[in-house]
């Protein structure tokens, strides 16, 4: 496999990583993000992730394997995220604590970031499995799969609300926008790494493509269930109806945002 292919996949992962920093940009213009907007953004992020998992990864997986392979991938992806999160249950990422962390704390921080962000990088890497084949989007001499474009855009948009979530507590501590953007990007560092690892795996193990697509989809869907939606519900605790209607509206909007890419 050419080094240029791995470089391209790494760049795609880096784009999604840097998109997290965009979550700090609103704080150039406003001091606080309302609960309603916060809930809506978590809903949009959840809808984008579900849309990317189902309409992107799972639909693509059907081209390479049957329900057993796809189902096994879904279960393993979800189980890996569930087990990983259980091992670090109760630990919250705290940039201030990180700055003065001893080695055990640093290991925990890296673990939190990896569990949170790595599956999204895997999804990007897997989506590049058909890189170089006919029917892709031409770019700088590469034929990039439409699915890869879809996933890179989806994860990038999804990462913006996560950047906002990281920035809110930092803003209350008096941090400036550049520092908020840096810490937001830092939380997504595992994404380009995961993208390259996943791409190398699916290119070497072509017979496991259906499993690989299912694995990435299962990991992301489980993240929506155990992280994104609970985050949205927590942010809407003070709103009427606990913010459920806003969350659902955002979720639907997230799905609709990604639908046009299915027809590219």
Alpha helices in 128-189 (DSSP H): 146-172, 177-186
Instruction: Print the domain residue range for 34.
Output: 3-263
pLDDT (0 to 100) of residue 173: 74
Burial class of residue 174 in the structure, from the number of CB atoms within 10 Å of its CB (0-12 exposed, 13-18 middle, 19+ buried):
exposed
DSSP assigned state of 138: E
Q: What's the burial of 31, exposed, middle or buried (CB within 10 Å: 0-12/13-18/19+)?
A: exposed
For residue 205, the model assigns a pLDDT of 75
The answer to whether the CB of 143 falls within 8 A of the CB of 136 is: yes
Q: Are 129 and 202 in contact (CB under 8 A)?
A: yes
SS percent in the chain: helix, strand, coil, step 5: 80, 0, 20
Check: CB of residue 8 under 8 Å from CB of residue 127: no
pLDDT value of residue 264: 55
CA distance 162 to 156: 10
Under 8 Å between Cβ of 250 and 46: yes
pLDDT at position 226 is 85
- The per-residue pLDDT for 245 is 93
Ranges of residues in the chain with a pLDDT under 50 are none
Residue with tokens 């201030």: 96
Question: Taking all residues of the chain, what is their mean pLDDT, rounded to a whole number?
Answer: 82
With tokens 């940039």, the residue in question is 95
Residues with Cβ within 8 Å of residue 250, at least 6 apart in sequence: 39, 40, 41, 42, 43, 44, 46, 47, 232
For residue 246, the model assigns a pLDDT of: 93
pLDDT score, position 258:
81
Model pLDDT, residue 236: 86
Q: Residue 201: which of 104, 249, 144, 129 has the closest Cα? A: 129
- Among 39, 26, 20, smallest CA distance to 160 is for 20
Domain count, the chain: 1
Distance (Å, whole) CA 121 – CA 21 = 16
Pair of tokens at residue 43: 């809903």
CA 59 to CA 42: how far, in whole Å? 24
Side-chain-side CA neighbours of residue 26 (13 Å): 20
């Amino acid at each position: 496999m050419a080094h240029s292919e791995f470089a391209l996949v790494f760049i795609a992962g880096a784009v999604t990583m840097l998109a997290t920093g965009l979550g700090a940009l609103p704080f150039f213009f406003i001091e606080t993000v309302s609960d309603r907007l916060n809930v809506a953004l978590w809903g949009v992020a959840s809808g984008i992730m579900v849309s990317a998992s189902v309409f992107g990864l799972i639909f693509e997986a059907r081209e390479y394997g049957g329900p057993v392979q796809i189902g096994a991938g879904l279960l393993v992806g979800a189980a890996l995220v569930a087990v990983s999160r259980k091992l670090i249950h109760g630990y919250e990422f705290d940039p201030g604590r990180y700055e003065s962390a001893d080695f055990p704390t640093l290991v925990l921080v890296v673990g939190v970031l990896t569990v949170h962000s790595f599956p999204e990088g895997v999804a990007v890497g897997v989506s590049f499995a058909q890189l170089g084949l006919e029917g892709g989007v031409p770019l700088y001499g590469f034929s990039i799969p439409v699915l890869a474009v879809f996933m890179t855009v989806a994860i990038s948009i999804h990462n913006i609300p996560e950047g906002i979530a990281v920035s809110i507590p930092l803003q209350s501590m008096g941090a400036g926008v550049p520092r908020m953007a840096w810490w937001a990007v830092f939380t997504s560092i595992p994404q380009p790494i995961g993208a390259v690892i996943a791409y190398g795996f699916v290119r070497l193990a072509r017979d496991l493509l259906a499993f690989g697509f299912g694995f990435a989809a299962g990991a992301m869907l489980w993240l929506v269930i155990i992280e994104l939606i609970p985050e949205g519900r927590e942010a809407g605790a003070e709103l009427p109806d606990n913010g459920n209607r806003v969350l659902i509206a955002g979720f639907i909007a997230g799905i609709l945002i990604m639908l046009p890419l299915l027809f590219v």
